[in-house]
Chains A and B, each alone.
Chain A
Amino acid sequence: MDHTYNLGDVLMMRYVIIPAIVLIGIVSTVLSHASYRETFEKEFMLSPWAIAKGEVSACIQCHTSDNMEPRIHQHVLEWRGSWHAKNNVSCHDCHGGAPEDASMSMMHQRGFKGAPKDIEIPGFCGTCHIAIQENYIKSGHGKTFISTGEGPSCVTCHGSHNIQQASMDIINEQLCSQCHTYERAKEMKQALFLVENKLNTIAKDLKRLKLFGIGTDMQEKAFFRNHAEFRALFHSIDVDAVRAKSNDFVQKLAIIEKEIDDSYKQLAYRRNFSAYLFLLFVGLSIVALLLSKTYEQKQDLK
């Protein structure tokens, strides 16, 4: 009789492991109350970071409830698809209030501002977009709006809840011709076109380089600075000034383009170096295989 086998067989399998497994099974069945999905959602959806994102906030819960008019529901739906939502800018960031506390959420003591009156809109958006507000106030659009209370405010062109990332597409015949002819706006668009194109290309390149693990922090900062300054030009309606400044931007962006070009060269070098090592090891493995086969044949002959 083999004692080692008896010990392993009897102790491990029959009297320890199998009863332990059965016990785990019974305990798990008896103790389970919530499904994995519920626990998962509890872990993630009710966690502090989810509240910070604004998805679980008193504003959204109330404004999407059945008691509200469909028009109010629309605000939330539009916001969810907006550039603000993508960048974690939630209701309370603009309208104030306390989203974590339903009973106090709309109290003025908690900083609730509600919806602004028309004349208050530039100041309302300017809370965050400070430089753009200054630029707008100096522009023809801004001057007209401030002095008469009529004309285009921020929401006329950008919308209120369905705000998208600002681009040259906002300058279009349909929108501009609501107030005036499109001729001058078209000239503006043409003047901005070259820089806008460069900015779009740089943004795509930086994104692509980042995917390949290239550090683009410096270039991103320079890009963001230029991008923001360039966007400020959009509110001016002085075509000559825009043309003159566009040249400055082309020169500044050329520095970033050069750095991007260097990064692409670095990526190509990495790929080529890896390919060289790959081919080297494939070659060496073929040599090792042939040697191995030769020795095997020699062994067989013996």
Chain B
Amino acid sequence: MWGKIVHWIEVRIGLEELINKHLRQFKTPKGATFWSTLGFVTLIAFILQAVTGIMLLLYYIPHPEHAFKSVQTITNEIPYGWLFRLIHNVGGNIIVAVIIIHMVHVFLRVSYKKPREITWVTGVLMFLLVLLACITGQLLPWHQTGFWQTTVTSTIPAFLPFIGEGISSYMRGGESVTGITLSRFFSFHVVILPVFIVGLMLLHALLIRRQGLSTSPTIEPDVDIAQQKKFSRYDHLEGQPCFPHFSLKRLFMVLIYFSVVFSVMTFFPNLFLPPESNIQADPITTPESIRPAWYFLAPYQLIKTIPNDIMGISLIVIFSVFLIFWPFFDTRDTERNIRKRPLLLSLALIILALWTILTIWGMYS
């Protein structure tokens, strides 16, 4: 019976050829480690967010009078609604951590160099869009935490000269966070941002497929496609087959991702749901402390610390611009082994240390 099904499919779509060509014969570099699978883990994490998000969408009502109640209904009355909500909530935070680790790994491997500049740019743009998805998502349950986090977050762009007030006003749909903001954030969270993210994801994946995974500068220092004048994919004939070798690495890391999500749900179910997230949004009651989500603590603390407000927000804009276009700044030195580039390594470590310090400072300030 199974054989008949496989044959039926084989005749129509040539499954075996597809598997052989794209999985068994497709070779990955020798230096492809578990860290090299983080992009794939992000893809699966995004799909998980989409699936759980669709489940939540079946019962969620994007209206200030019903949003909180509908989320309470999902959590407490819909069978296993709590599971989908918690996976979506915890997954939304862990995916950001995975993307950050992925970016740090790519940076330390200096994998963004020619011909992978566009891959880096699309990756960073996706990261920024995921952060926007997090910002828009946190308002949807219409609880105190989300309401006041949105109030703070939507105030920050207002410090930009000329266009700042416009951005803030557009985000909120008026002077303050209201039902208009909720509808606006809902549209962005469930339709507009996912469409752009999926578009960039396809481009990102297509480029990786065309160029192959980047090699490790320490394991394969001789593979230097940066010097090529025309496009050609290095076949890594000495490398591992994508299936089953590299696919098992990917599977392992995806399972680790799920394990992390479920461990947070088991041992720290309220890690990303502070007490105020169980209280309906109330514009006349300001919580004792309003803090943005952990991944925004560093920029938030930076703006708070720098006495010149426009300078603070400008620094973040400058950093984002540098981050997006970094491959075009780092063009002089073709060396990809970061151990041989102490200046670049120091820059990476200083930024990571500053980011960590500002995050911890923001957490306790």
Complex CA distance for A43 and B117, rounded to whole angstroms? 41
B225 to chain A, nearest CB (A): 13
Residues of A within 8 A of B321 (CB): 17, 20-21
B328 contacts which of A9, A47, A217, A299 (Cβ < 8 Å)?
A: A9
For B251, the closest partner residue in chain A by CB is A288
Which residues of the partner chain A approach B262 to less than 8 Å between Cβ atoms?
A: 274-275, 277-278, 281
Q: Which of A32-40, A227-235, A245-253 contacts B (4 or more CB under 8 A)?
A: A32-40
Q: How far is the CA of A4 from the CA of B113 in the complex (A)?
A: 12
Interface residue? B159 (CB, 8 A): yes
10 contacts between A and B (CB under 8 A): A5-B331, A17-B328, A27-B161, A29-B308, A29-B311, A34-B309, A40-B155, A53-B284, A210-B275, A213-B269
Q: Does B97 contact A (CB under 8 A)?
A: no
A174 to chain B, nearest CB (A): 33
Name the interface residues of B245-277: CB closer than 8 Å to any CB of A: 245, 248-249, 251-252, 255-256, 258-259, 262-263, 265-266, 269-270, 273, 275, 277
Judged by a CB distance under 8 angstroms, whether B169 is at the interface is no
Known contacts A35-B309, A36-B307: A271-B176 contact under CB 8 Å: no
B contact residues around A288 at 8 Å (CB): 248, 251-252, 255
| Contact indicator A8/B331 (Cβ below 8 Å) | yes
**Beyond A8-B117, A29-B308, A211-B275, 6 extra complex contacts between A and B, CB < 8 Å:** A21-B321, A31-B161, A32-B311, A213-B75, A213-B269, A285-B252
Residues on B with C-beta less than 8 A from A282 are: 259
Interface pair B328/A37, CB less than 8 Å apart:
no
Q: Is A179 an interface residue (CB 8 A)?
A: no
Complex CA distance for A9 and B325, rounded to whole angstroms:
11
Nearest CB of B to A37, in Å: 7
B318 within 8 A of A: yes
Q: How many residues of B contact A (CB 8 A)?
A: 60
A224 within 8 A of B: no
In the bound complex, do residue B266 and residue A274 qualify as a contact, i.e. CB atoms below 8 Å apart? yes
Q: Is A88 an interface residue (CB 8 A)?
A: yes
Rounded to whole angstroms, the CA-CA distance of A282 and B256 in the bound complex is: 7
A277→B258 CA distance, assembly (Å): 9
Closest Cβ of chain A to B177, distance in Å, is 11
Give min CB distance, B272 to chain A, whole Å: 11
B328 with A12: CB separation less than 8 A: yes
Nearest-Cβ distance from residue B120 to partner chain A, whole angstroms = 12
Residue A154 is within 8 A (CB to CB) of chain B in the complex: no
Tally of chain A residues near chain B (CB < 8 A):
57
Q: Is A301 an interface residue (CB 8 A)?
A: no
Is A2 in contact with chain B by the CB < 8 A criterion?
A: yes
Docked Cα-Cα span, A90 to B310, in Å, equals 37
Q: A53-B285, A281-B255 are in contact. Are A215 and B76 (CB under 8 A)?
A: yes
Distance (whole angstroms) from the CB of A288 to the closest CB of chain B: 4
Query: Are A13 and B248 neighbours in the complex by a CB distance under 8 Å?
Result: no
Interface residues of chain A: helix, strand, loop or mixed (majority) = helix
Count of chain A to chain B residue pairs whose CB atoms are closer than 8 Å in the complex: 154
With A278-B259, A281-B255 known to touch, is A273 a contact of B83 (CB < 8 Å)? yes
**A284 interfacial by beta-carbon distance below 8 Å:** yes
Interface residue? B114 (CB, 8 A)? yes
Q: In the complex, A28→B159 CA distance in Å?
A: 9
Interface string of A275-302 (1 = CB under 8 A from B): 1011001101100110110011001000
Query: B304 and A37: CB pair below 8 A?
Result: yes
Q: Does A44 contact B (CB under 8 A)?
A: yes
B82 within 8 A of A: yes
In the bound complex, what is the Cα–Cα distance between A263 and B229 (angstroms)? Answer: 67
Assembly CA distance A31 to B114 (angstroms):
39
Give Cα A106–Cα B259 distance, bound, in whole angstroms: 63
Q: Is A237 an interface residue (CB 8 A)?
A: no
Q: From B249, which residue of chain A is reached at the shortest CB distance?
A: A292
A278 touches B266 (CB 8 A): yes
Q: A17-B325, A52-B284 are in contact. Are A39 and B266 (CB under 8 A)?
A: no
Q: Which of B294-312 contact A (CB under 8 A)?
A: 303-304, 306-312
Is the pair B245, A28 in contact by a Cβ cutoff of 8 Å?
A: no
Residues of chain B with a CB closer than 8 A to A217's CB:
72
CB-defined contacts of A37 to chain B, threshold 8 Å: 304
How close is A269's CB to chain B, nearest CB, in angstroms?
A: 10
Interface digits, B313-347 against A, CB 8 Å rule (1 contact, 0 not)? Answer: 11001100100010111010000000000000000
Q: A270 on the interface (CB 8 Å rule)?
A: yes
Chain A nearest CB: distance from B30 CB in Å?
A: 10
**B255 with A8: CB separation less than 8 A:** no
Pairwise interchain contact A39-B159, C-beta atoms closer than 8 A: yes
A25, A289, A299: the one within 8 Å of B314 (CB): A25
* CB proximity of B154 to chain A, nearest CB, Å: 10
In contact, B75 and A278 (Cβ under 8 angstroms): no
B240 lies within 8 A of chain A by Cβ = yes
B286 within 8 A of A: yes
Query: Which chain A residues lie closer than 8 Å to B277 at the CB level?
Result: 213
B286 touches which of A49, A277, A289, A299 (Cβ 8 Å) = A49
